């Protein structure tokens, strides 16, 4: 195939342009440094995941975490390893779904997943800010607490500003946690202003420092606690005995009885409440263009980048598994249960509680690792707060790139909103609304967040399943594995959604806004040419196209194959329009591709049959737009062509509906509108003849 035509119409994207405006160019970086970039979101979950695990599973938390790790290593990781090879340009599972499910069905599915992606990114930011606020408000240092009281102690003053009873009730939300969370959201918005140009080298360098320091601090806390537990093995024995005898309590289900079978069963049953340990994977594919490949890589087949990205994903999964297992084990065995209750000092900050050297289980505070204490705890809190705030800023960058790219397929152009910053401003305002609605509570948001995380993983599993089936239809074992993963994650996601429907409600609100807005935008832009340039089937087609452009008086006749022969069509056209025999006729056959797309780069093939030129154009999204584009391109070099149509017997309502949804219908009228809109000079305008 030869390159795209060098002639690109006005008022359209360049022929070789991607579907959205790309971020500023950045040199590719070695994959370990990109690992730190995705670690801003991925590893920051250590700030709250141990507490969530204990809240969901009680004394079973370490064993339930093993289930999460198994789902991570043998479920989520294989899915995204597969998708990394199918979508190496940062589009993730959405691009794979778009390829394997063409048409409106695929677009609607992508729109639904985009709603969950937006909800996922919203909750990532709000929950991270809420947990960072917990690390601030629960810090035991007296000077720290005095500063918080000065900031959050304005509630009495604020109440006087609002005389109505409604506003007085609204101000009841004003507490330490809410004030600090909102301030952190504003701080995260400031981080985004610095990072708004995308993930450049400076952002990567900052992420390497922050994530590296955060992982080292967690390794010191977890490692020292594991060493202490090794010196006092009675804690392990007591915990094992309590599980075997069925002692203890679970917050989500009744204990089914003694025995290890019950323990294993309950460990699986509490898995939905711990699904946040699987978050952050869609973002990892979004930053894939930053991964440095091999010198032999090509834009179409970047094999080195794919291989390095898979090393990155594997390393991230192994690191997260080790940190999750260690953190949940030490917090379960060492943090007193009453300290993990709502409002207690270890709630949603269990590792920070240990880092500060707070009293451990059984009141043996004298046996804690001696070097853990206020100074080390302060450093740990600062590292946690910083990575949680930057996690929200990093997902905002991904959201800014991902959502508009696929909305373009509905004809919803958001470039103007990007320039004004309205999209990100709207999402930041929504962050505050969600924070207030959930009262800045980490526990209240975790169910909705888990719903969106599991929805994205289910979509990725479906993309892997369908792409595997299309590429290797005879490998049944791989298909069955993908099918089981898709069914498993969808079932878990449904269970979480039934218990905590807030995530579906927020995603549904995004979908309810995006779908009608996109369709109205598409209707409003029907007279745009939507043309990105032609591609040619072979060199002969390119040569014949250049010959047609220099023809003296070209006459274009659209022809639908299968209804009548070219000879019969030519006889009717010449008789109806009184065309002389010496006037050459060029037949134009248009084959629709995916009519649900908006922009198009049609594939052109030109042949000569019995002395007649036949131009076949395929991969089109609209018949009328292709005919108008051909006529306008011919008029740029030679005399304006004339396009001859016959009358249609279809009703006006039917042809307009068919055009909007299926790319055909009302072709003569719309071709005329497009020609008049995109060529203002009547002397250069192609003539549209209907008879």
Is the torsion defined by CA of 27, 28, 32, 37 positive or negative?
Answer: positive
Closest CA to 123 of 452, 372, 518: 452
Higher local confidence (pLDDT), 685 or 383: 383
Phi, psi dihedral angles at 412 (to 5 degrees): -105, 100
631's tokens: 């006529």
Residue 588: enclosing H or E segment and its boundaries? strand 586-592
DSSP assignment of 489-537, as one string? HHHHHHHHHHH-THHHHHHHHHHHHHHHHHHHHHHHTTTS--B---EES
On whether the CB atoms of residues 405 and 166 are closer than 8 A, the answer is no
User: How many C-beta neighbours within 10 Å does residue 11 have?
Assistant: 10
Closest CA to 20 of 426, 398, 301, 403: 403
Cα 27 from chain centroid? 23
* Distance, CA of 247 to CA of 241 (rounded, Å): 8
DSSP 72: I
126's tokens: 């709000």
Mention every residue, 6+ apart, whose C-beta is less than 8 A from residue 642: 553, 554, 555, 556, 686, 687, 688, 689
pLDDT digits (tens, 9 = 90+) for 71-118: 999 999 999 999 988 888 877 888 888 888 888 888 888 888 888 888
Closest CA to 450 of 45, 156, 74: 45
What average pLDDT does range 647-667 have in this prediction? Answer: 58
Is the torsion defined by CA of 538, 543, 548, 550 positive or negative?
Answer: positive
pLDDT digits (tens, 9 = 90+) for 127-158: 988 999 898 888 877 767 776 766 665 555 55
pLDDT of residue 681: 83
On whether the CB atoms of residues 210 and 390 are closer than 8 A, the answer is yes
What average pLDDT does range 364-389 have in this prediction? Answer: 79
Higher local confidence (pLDDT), 120 or 260: 120
- Find the range with the poorest average confidence among 153-167, 452-466, 487-501, 512-526: 153-167
pLDDT of residue 258: 53
Instruction: Give residue 222's pLDDT band: very low, low, confident or very high (50, 70, 90).
Output: very high
On whether the CB atoms of residues 105 and 493 are closer than 8 A, the answer is no
Residue 682: enclosing H or E segment and its boundaries? none
On whether the CB atoms of residues 308 and 293 are closer than 8 A, the answer is yes
DSSP assignment of 89-138, as one string? TTTHHHHHHHHHS-HHHHHHHHHHHHHHHHHHHHHHHHHHHHHHHHHHHT
Q: Is 642 left (phi over 0), alpha (psi -120 to 50) or beta?
A: beta
pLDDT of residue 171: 63
441's tokens: 């509570």
DSSP assignment of 620-652, as one string? ES-HHHHHHHHHHHHHHHSSPPEEEE----S-H
* Distance, CA of 254 to CA of 252 (rounded, Å): 7
What average pLDDT does range 427-437 have in this prediction? Answer: 83
Does 47 score more than 50 pLDDT? yes
Does 431 score more than 80 pLDDT? yes
pLDDT of residue 20: 41
pLDDT digits (tens, 9 = 90+) for 549-591: 777 667 888 887 766 777 788 888 887 777 887 777 888 888 8
Average predicted confidence (pLDDT) for the chain:
78
Does 170 score more than 50 pLDDT? yes
Does 11 score more than 50 pLDDT? no
* Distance, CA of 538 to CA of 593 (rounded, Å): 19
Cα 37 from chain centroid? 16
pTM higher than 0.85, yes or no? no
pLDDT digits (tens, 9 = 90+) for 238-285: 777 777 665 444 443 444 455 667 777 888 888 888 888 888 888 788
55's tokens: 């809240």
On whether the CB atoms of residues 641 and 555 are closer than 8 A, the answer is yes
pLDDT of residue 256: 47
Does 380 score more than 90 pLDDT? yes
User: How many C-beta neighbours within 10 Å does residue 681 have?
Assistant: 8
What average pLDDT does range 642-647 have in this prediction? Answer: 77
- For residues 621, 627, 629, 632, the Cα torsion angle rounded to the nearest 10 degrees is -170
* Distance, CA of 669 to CA of 645 (rounded, Å): 10
User: Directed axis angle between helix 103-137 and helix 92-100, to 10°?
Assistant: 160
Mention every residue, 6+ apart, whose C-beta is less than 8 A from residue 616: 589, 591, 604, 605, 606, 607
Is the torsion defined by CA of 312, 314, 315, 319 positive or negative?
Answer: positive
Higher local confidence (pLDDT), 509 or 518: 509
Closest CA to 414 of 676, 637, 598: 598
Mention every residue, 6+ apart, whose C-beta is less than 8 A from residue 610: 566, 567
On whether the CB atoms of residues 644 and 557 are closer than 8 A, the answer is yes
Closest CA to 624 of 542, 528, 532: 528
* Distance, CA of 544 to CA of 511 (rounded, Å): 46
629's tokens: 């584009």
* Distance, CA of 625 to CA of 11 (rounded, Å): 14
User: How many C-beta neighbours within 10 Å does residue 599 have?
Assistant: 18
- Is 419 buried (19+), middle (13-18) or exposed (0-12) by CB count in 10 A? exposed
pLDDT of residue 152: 60
Does 434 score more than 50 pLDDT? yes
Domains in the chain, CATH or no CATH each: 31-523 (1.20.1740.10), 535-690 (3.40.50)
- Find the range with the poorest average confidence among 122-126, 132-136, 354-358, 413-417: 413-417
Instruction: Give residue 316's pLDDT band: very low, low, confident or very high (50, 70, 90).
Output: very high
On whether the CB atoms of residues 44 and 574 are closer than 8 A, the answer is no
In the chain, % helix, strand, coil (3-state, to 5) comes to 65, 5, 30
pLDDT digits (tens, 9 = 90+) for 381-430: 999 999 998 887 777 777 766 776 777 767 776 665 656 556 667 777 88
pLDDT of residue 299: 80
Q: What are the b/e assignments for 275-285, b being 16+ CB within 10 Å? A: bbbbbbbbbbb
Does 288 score more than 80 pLDDT? yes
Does 51 score more than 60 pLDDT? yes
583's tokens: 């006037």
Q: What are the b/e assignments for 539-573, b being 16+ CB within 10 Å? A: eebbebbeebbebeebbbbbbeeeeeebeebbeeb
């Amino acid at each position: 195939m030869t390159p795209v035509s060098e002639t690109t119409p006005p008022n359209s994207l360049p022929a070789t342009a991607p579907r959205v405006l790309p971020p500023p160019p950045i040199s590719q970086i070695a994959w370990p440094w990109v690992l730190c970039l995705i670690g801003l979101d991925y590893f920051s979950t250590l700030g709250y995941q141990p507490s969530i695990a204990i809240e969901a599973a009680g004394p079973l938390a370490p064993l339930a975490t093993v289930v999460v790790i198994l789902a991570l290593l043998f479920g989520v990781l294989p899915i995204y390893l597969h998708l990394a090879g199918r979508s190496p340009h940062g589009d993730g599972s959405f691009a794979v779904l778009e390829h394997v499910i063409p048409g409106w069905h695929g677009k609607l599915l992508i729109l639904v997943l985009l709603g969950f992606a937006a909800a996922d990114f919203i909750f990532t930011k709000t929950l991270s800010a809420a947990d960072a606020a917990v690390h601030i408000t629960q810090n035991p240092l007296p000077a720290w607490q005095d500063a918080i009281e000065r900031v959050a102690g304005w509630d009495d003053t604020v109440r006087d500003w609002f005389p109505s009873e409604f506003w007085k009730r609204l101000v009841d939300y004003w507490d330490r946690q809410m004030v600090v969370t909102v301030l952190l959201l504003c701080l995260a918005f400031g981080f985004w202003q610095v990072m708004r140009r995308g993930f450049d080298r400076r952002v990567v360098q900052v992420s390497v420092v922050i994530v590296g320091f955060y992982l080292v601090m967690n390794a010191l806390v977890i490692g020292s606690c594991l060493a202490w537990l090794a010196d006092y093995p009675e804690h392990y024995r007591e915990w094992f005995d309590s599980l075997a005898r069925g002692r203890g309590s679970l917050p989500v289900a009744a204990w089914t009885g003694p025995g290890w079978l019950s323990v294993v069963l309950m460990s699986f049953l509490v898995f939905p409440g711990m699904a946040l340990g699987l978050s952050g994977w869609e973002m990892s594919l979004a930053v894939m263009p930053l991964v440095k490949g091999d010198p032999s890589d090509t834009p179409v087949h970047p094999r080195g980048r794919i291989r390095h990205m898979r090393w990155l994903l594997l390393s991230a999964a192994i690191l997260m598994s080790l940190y999750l297992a260690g953190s949940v084990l030490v917090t379960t065995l060492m943090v007193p249960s009453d300290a993990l209750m709502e409002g207690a000092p270890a709630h949603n900050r269990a590792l920070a509680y240990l880092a500060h050297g707070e009293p451990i289980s059984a009141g043996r505070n004298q046996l804690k690792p001696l070097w853990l204490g206020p100074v080390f705890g302060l450093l740990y809190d600062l590292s946690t707060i910083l990575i949680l705030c930057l996690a929200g800023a990093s997902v905002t960058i991904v959201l800014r790139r991902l959502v508009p790219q696929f909305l373009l397929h509905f004809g919803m152009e958001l470039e103007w909103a990007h320039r004004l910053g309205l999209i990100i401003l709207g999402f930041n305002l929504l962050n505050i609304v969600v924070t207030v609605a959930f009262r800045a509570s980490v526990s209240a948001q975790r169910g909705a967040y888990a719903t969106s995380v599991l929805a994205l993983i289910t979509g990725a599993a479906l993309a892997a399943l369908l792409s595997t089936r299309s590429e290797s239809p005879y490998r049944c074992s791989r298909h069955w594995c993908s099918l089981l993963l898709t069914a498993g994650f969808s079932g878990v996601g449904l269970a979480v959604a039934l218990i905590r429907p807030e995530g579906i409600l927020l995603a549904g609100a995004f979908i309810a806004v995006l779908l009608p807005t996109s369709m109205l935008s598409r209707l409003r832009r029907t007279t745009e040419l939507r043309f990105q340039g032609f591609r040619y089937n072979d060199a002969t087609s390119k040569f014949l196209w250049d010959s047609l452009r220099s023809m003296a008086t070209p006459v274009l006749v659209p022809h639908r194959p299968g209804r009548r022969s070219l000879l019969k069509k030519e006889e009717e056209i010449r008789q109806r329009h009184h065309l002389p025999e010496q006037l050459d006729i060029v037949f134009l056959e248009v084959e629709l591709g995916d009519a649900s797309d908006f922009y198009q780069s049609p594939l052109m093939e030109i042949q000569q049959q019995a002395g007649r030129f036949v131009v076949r154009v395929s991969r089109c999204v609209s018949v009328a737009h292709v005919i108008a584009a051909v006529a306008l391109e011919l008029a740029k070099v030679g005399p304006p062509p004339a396009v001859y149509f016959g009358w249609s017997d279809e009703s006006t309502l039917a042809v307009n509906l068919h055009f909007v949804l299926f790319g055909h219908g009302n072709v003569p009228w719309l071709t005329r509108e497009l020609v008049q809109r995109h060529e203002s000079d009547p002397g250069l305008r192609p003539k549209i003849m209907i008879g």
